[in-house]
Amino acid sequence: MDVTLVRADVAVLDAALAGDEELAQHLGCAVVPRWVSFTGPLHATRDALVKDPTLVEWGTRLFLAGEPPELVGWGGYKGPPRDGRVELGYEIAESRWGRGLATDAVRAMLAEAFADPDVSAVIAHTLPEPNASTRVLEKAGFRFGGPAVEDGLEVWLFQLDRPS
- What CATH number is given to the structural domain containing 134? 3.40.630.30
- pLDDT band per the 50, 70, 90 thresholds, residue 1: low
pLDDT tens, residue by residue, 104-154:
999 999 999 999 999 999 999 999 999 999 999 999 999 999 999 999 999
The H or E element containing residue 7 is: strand 3-7
pLDDT tens, residue by residue, 39-53:
889 999 999 999 999
Residue 38 pLDDT greater than 90, yes or no: no
Q: Specify the length of the chain in residues.
A: 164
Q: What integer pLDDT is reported at residue 31 of this predicted model?
A: 98
Please state, in angstroms and rounded to a whole number, the distance separating the CA atoms of residues 91 and 6: 14
Residue among 92, 117, 79, 85 nearest 32 (CA): 92
Beta-ladder partners of 149: 154
What is the rounded average pLDDT of the residues 8-36? 97
Number of domains in the chain: 1
Q: What integer pLDDT is reported at residue 40 of this predicted model?
A: 87
Q: How many CB atoms lie within 10 A of CB 6?
A: 16
3-state SS record for 27-94: HCCEECCCCCCCCHHHHHHHHHHHHCHHHHHHCEEEEEECCCCEEEEEEEECCCCECCEEEEEEEECH
For 39, residues 6+ apart whose C-beta sits below 8 A from its C-beta are 16, 17
Residue 10 pLDDT greater than 80, yes or no: yes
Q: What integer pLDDT is reported at residue 76 of this predicted model?
A: 95
**Domain limits for position 8:** 3-161
pLDDT tens, residue by residue, 79-106:
999 999 999 999 999 999 999 999 999 9
12 Rama sector, left if φ>0, alpha if ψ -120 to 50, beta otherwise: alpha
